Amino acid sequence: MVHNFNAGPSVLPKTVFEQASQAILNFNNTGLSILEIGHRTSLFQNVMDEAIALVKELMQLDSNREVLFLHGGASTQFFQVPMNLLSEGETGAYLDCGTWGTKAIKEAKVFGNVDVVASSKDKNYSYIPKGYTIPAQAKYFHYTSNNTIEGTQMHSIPDSPVPLVADMSSDILSAVLDFNRFDLIYAGAQKNIGAAGVNLVIVNKEILGKVNRKLPSMMDYQQHIANGSMLNTPPVFAVYVCLLTLRWLKEQGGVAAIEKINNKKSELIYNTLDSLPVFKPTVAKEDRSKMNVVFSMENPELEKDFLDLCKKEGMVGIKGHRTVGGFRVSLYNALPLSSVEALTELMKHFALQHA
Amino acid sequence: MVHNFNAGPSVLPKTVFEQASQAILNFNNTGLSILEIGHRTSLFQNVMDEAIALVKELMQLDSNREVLFLHGGASTQFFQVPMNLLSEGETGAYLDCGTWGTKAIKEAKVFGNVDVVASSKDKNYSYIPKGYTIPAQAKYFHYTSNNTIEGTQMHSIPDSPVPLVADMSSDILSAVLDFNRFDLIYAGAQKNIGAAGVNLVIVNKEILGKVNRKLPSMMDYQQHIANGSMLNTPPVFAVYVCLLTLRWLKEQGGVAAIEKINNKKSELIYNTLDSLPVFKPTVAKEDRSKMNVVFSMENPELEKDFLDLCKKEGMVGIKGHRTVGGFRVSLYNALPLSSVEALTELMKHFALQHA
């Protein structure tokens, strides 16, 4: 039994693996692999249509929001967003609350000015800045809703006088939110949505078409909307895995139902960490991420022992990011509660041994 | 029995489907799916390293050529190439010999000037222009080596006084070429290399770093080279399918061996077409593609009958591109000779019936 706590690419539902594996041999009883069907066939059009419809349904999107499945990962969106929204000389407002936000800021500077409204760099991004003002003359305000590496998460949507843009790569579809308050949401698929190699982009079409720069076709959201995410050959298999995962999420009862389980998982592990002095959670309590639990040990010399024990017990992916150290336990939608139970039991066992 | 003549995404070797399907359930006996392993693990690093090494070996690349696996498809390269090679005011030389070349030209104009050195648009791209001059002041010369939609193919490499760039999406690895004569080769994977959602890019690093524009990190070939195609999370599964297909190609005896089979397949079908007056191949004989065989019928009213017959006999993907009409039969590396034999038998049978 393997418990997969990887930060991404990460665990997906077992039924998704089974169905994806089967579709590679014989997709929908066509005698063809999902890898060899034409993307302009009704076979694949049905996949794309259902995936888009499920995103709209699960996120309860209004009719202004367009759903796109685009090549690349969030790093592609770091530059595609300002390329589409920011003319030279104009300013994008950014919240600097972690590694990924920092990268998004760097890419925005290629296309325009950046106003960093607040930063938590002073304390290694171990908290979410609060009490900042978003300038009304900015073209948009961008933030990272969950910081995969540092283990912090925004627990409310900021009021913004300008279009709101969020990188939700590592917490999309994990909790109920009013997604219609956002003008652009993007997320690499490889955490809560599917397999690596595709981006989910949700955009309010009203904010597009205002930039005064020539856009390459493949970078132009409006062209992708006009072509239903099929401006070119889409990443067929990656979109199909998204569809399977979205279907699974709906079968679980949707976002509200998965949020309850996610809350149980994160409460269990944070309560365990807080009760065992051997472990040391590293981020501000009120900003703790429900998706990525980051901690170290009071005695760093014990870290290797704990890592070895985890490995022995089939716990995969709990080593912290190389820039942060310590441990990181990722609790994405598809991670079963039983995996968190197994890990917390191991933590208690280890704490007793080293009390 | 299905015979898959799709133009792309298209048939891959049966063993590739089987191995890919298995890896989704249990990758290399890790107990984990290939879809849930971290891309920074040695598990995936080995996949990337072997895929890159196999490309270098199969194409006999010299040490100046870097091999990249990048997100997106050839349409992404249409703009990434000029973005990296063409400063504003500078000129790229392009050969206009089909739908894809036309699109590449459109995207280049976003970044600089385009000199179309020759075009076959006058005859619906049914031939390859010859006798043109490539201007020595151009920054590079770009052409499409095989025109998937129109069914023409370049059968020799042009002498170029400037860096040579080729879109080889639909004939890469199908025949022995001196690939070191090219300074940049790109190819969407979904024909001869693997599954949709990844690009193979081979670039002479000497031509990079000369453009005077700020490049977004994800569009900068130099940054991808420095990061071994792992600047961000790569399309893990799509790269793995490339690896499996490259291994298969090596097991077949490499490019020279597959070229012999490809020659047999294309000779068989063109000889059959030429011998049966009911069929009408549409492109200039000397420019016929060995990958995509395009033809129509002397009597267009019979086209539906032939299409129905093919469908009945399990022949998939032979309908011509919507912009060209008629038929298109794609003969990529993984298409077995037996499929071409089955189709040509059906053609003879049909011709007899309608003699």
So what's the ipTM on this one? Answer: 0.97
Residue B132 burial (C-beta neighbours within 10 Å; 0-12, 13-18, 19+): middle
* In a domain? residue A143: yes
Alpha-carbon distance B293 to B346, whole Å? 16
Residue B329 has what pLDDT?
Answer: 98
Residue A355 has what pLDDT?
Answer: 80
Residue B355 has what pLDDT?
Answer: 80
Q: Do residue A25 and residue A105 come from a single domain?
A: yes
Residue A249 has what pLDDT?
Answer: 98
Write out the DSSP string of A148-174.
Answer: TTTTEE--SPPP-SS-EEEE-TTTTTS
pLDDT tier, A296 (very low <50, low <70, confident <90, very high otherwise): very high
Distance from CA of A20 to the nearest CA of B (A): 7
Alpha-carbon distance A184 to A199, whole Å? 13
With contact defined as beta carbons under 8 Å apart, do B293 and B270 qualify? yes
CA angle centred on A187, ends A181 and A189, rounded to 5°:
140
The tokens 């920054």 sit on which residue?
B139
Which of A251, A275, A291 is a domain's end point? A251
Cα-flanking dihedrals φ and ψ of residue A279, to 5°?
Answer: -100, 155
Q: Do residue B77 and residue B184 come from a single domain?
A: yes
Residue A320 DSSP SS3: coil
A22 contacts in B (CB within 8 Å)? 21
Q: Do residue B102 and residue B241 come from a single domain?
A: yes
- Paired tokens of B293: 């065989």
Active site residue A248: no
DSSP state of B10: -
Q: What is the CATH number of the domain that holds A296?
A: 3.90.1150.10
Alpha-carbon distance A206 to A224, whole Å? 15
Over residues A15-55, the pLDDT tens digits come to: 999 999 999 999 999 999 999 999 999 999 999 999 999 99
Give the residues across from A296 on adjacent strands: A280
Residue B208 burial (C-beta neighbours within 10 Å; 0-12, 13-18, 19+): middle
pLDDT reading at B85 higher than 90: yes
* In a domain? residue B99: yes
Residue of B39, B231, B237 lying closest to A75 (CB–CB)? B231
pLDDT tier, B228 (very low <50, low <70, confident <90, very high otherwise): very high
Residue from A80, A169, A193, A218 whose CB has the most chain B CBs within 10 Å, to mutate: A218
User: Do the chains contact at B9 and A71, CB–CB below 8 Å?
Assistant: no
Active site residue B248: no
Catalytic residue among B96, B139, B167, B290: B167
**Residue whose C-alpha is closest to residue A292's, from A1, A3, A10:** A10
- Paired tokens of A343: 């890990």
Alpha-carbon distance B118 to B100, whole Å? 15
Q: Do residue A206 and residue A274 come from a single domain?
A: no
Which of A192, A218, A251 is a domain's end point? A251
Mean pLDDT of B259-279: 98
Q: Do residue A212 and residue A157 come from a single domain?
A: yes
pLDDT tier, A244 (very low <50, low <70, confident <90, very high otherwise): very high
Q: SS3 breakdown of chain A: % helix, strand, coil, rounded to 5?
A: 40, 20, 40
Catalytic residue among A139, A171, A183, A191: A191
Number of other CB atoms surrounding residue B29 within 10 Å: 6
* In a domain? residue A148: yes
Q: Do residue B237 and residue B306 come from a single domain?
A: no
With contact defined as beta carbons under 8 Å apart, do B196 and B188 qualify? yes
* Sign of the Cα pseudo-torsion (B339, B151, B54, B245, in order): negative
A241 contacts in B (CB within 8 Å)? 35
With contact defined as beta carbons under 8 Å apart, do A71 and B76 qualify? yes
Alpha-carbon distance B340 to B345, whole Å? 8
CA distance between the termini of chain A = 28
How many domains does one find in chain B?
2
Mean pLDDT of A133-158: 98
The tokens 């590079």 sit on which residue?
B140
Distance from CA of B329 to the nearest CA of A (A): 13
Which of B251, B286, B319 is a domain's end point? B251
Q: What is the CATH number of the domain that holds B216?
A: 3.40.640.10
Residue from B15, B34, B44, B71 whose CB has the most chain A CBs within 10 Å, to mutate: B71
DSSP state of A35: G
Mean pLDDT of A299-313: 96
Q: Which regions of chain A does DSSP assign to beta strands (E)?
A: 3-4, 65-71, 91-96, 113-119, 141-144, 146-147, 152-153, 164-167, 184-188, 198-204, 279-281, 292-297, 315-316, 327-330
Q: Do residue A75 and residue A202 come from a single domain?
A: yes
- Paired tokens of A338: 């039983």
Q: Does an H or E element contain A309, and which?
A: helix A303-312
Residue of A37, A110, A316 lying closest to B32 (CB–CB)? A316
Active site residue A191: yes
With contact defined as beta carbons under 8 Å apart, do B12 and A33 qualify? yes
Residue of B24, B36, B75 lying closest to A11 (CB–CB)? B36
With contact defined as beta carbons under 8 Å apart, do B164 and B157 qualify? yes
Over residues B102-141, the pLDDT tens digits come to: 999 999 999 999 999 999 999 999 999 999 999 999 999 9
Residue B94 DSSP SS3: strand
Considering chain A, what is the average pLDDT of its residues? 97
Over residues B150-160, the pLDDT tens digits come to: 999 999 999 99
* In a domain? residue A342: yes
Angle between helices B337-353 and B254-275 (to 10 degrees): 0
pLDDT reading at B323 higher than 90: no
DSSP state of A289: -
* Sign of the Cα pseudo-torsion (A143, A145, A149, A150, in order): positive
Q: Do residue B88 and residue B223 come from a single domain?
A: yes
Q: Do residue B246 and residue B287 come from a single domain?
A: no
Alpha-carbon distance A38 to B318, whole Å? 11
Number of other CB atoms surrounding residue B99 within 10 Å: 16
pLDDT tier, B259 (very low <50, low <70, confident <90, very high otherwise): very high
- Paired tokens of A10: 């990460």
Mean pLDDT of B234-242: 98
User: Do the chains contact at B2 and A107, CB–CB below 8 Å?
Assistant: no
With contact defined as beta carbons under 8 Å apart, do A231 and A72 qualify? no
- Paired tokens of B322: 């919507």
Q: SS3 breakdown of chain B: % helix, strand, coil, rounded to 5?
A: 40, 20, 40
Over residues B126-137, the pLDDT tens digits come to: 999 999 999 999
* In a domain? residue B97: yes
Q: Do residue B266 and residue B243 come from a single domain?
A: no
Q: Which residues constitute the domain of residue B116?
A: 14-251
Residue A322 has what pLDDT?
Answer: 85
* In a domain? residue B307: yes
pLDDT tier, A1 (very low <50, low <70, confident <90, very high otherwise): confident
With contact defined as beta carbons under 8 Å apart, do B233 and A9 qualify? yes
* Chain A: residue whose CA lies nearest to B36: A10
* In a domain? residue A131: yes
User: Do the chains contact at B217 and A83, CB–CB below 8 Å?
Assistant: no
* Strands ordered across the beta sheet of B164-167: B65-71, B198-204, B184-188, B164-167, B141-144, B91-96, B113-119
The answer for residues whose C-beta is within 8 angstroms of residue A34's C-beta and 6 or more apart is A20, A23, A24, A27, A236, A237, A240
The tokens 């279907």 sit on which residue?
A247
Number of other CB atoms surrounding residue A42 within 10 Å: 9
Over residues A63-104, the pLDDT tens digits come to: 999 999 999 999 999 999 999 999 999 999 999 999 999 999
A235 contacts in B (CB within 8 Å)? 196-198, 235, 238
Considering chain B, what is the average pLDDT of its residues? 97
A69 contacts in B (CB within 8 Å)? none
User: Do the chains contact at B30 and A78, CB–CB below 8 Å?
Assistant: no
A4 contacts in B (CB within 8 Å)? 32, 36
With contact defined as beta carbons under 8 Å apart, do B168 and B193 qualify? no
Q: Do residue B296 and residue B217 come from a single domain?
A: no
The tokens 């997709």 sit on which residue?
A27
Q: Do residue A239 and residue A299 come from a single domain?
A: no
Alpha-carbon distance A77 to A185, whole Å? 10
* In a domain? residue B1: no
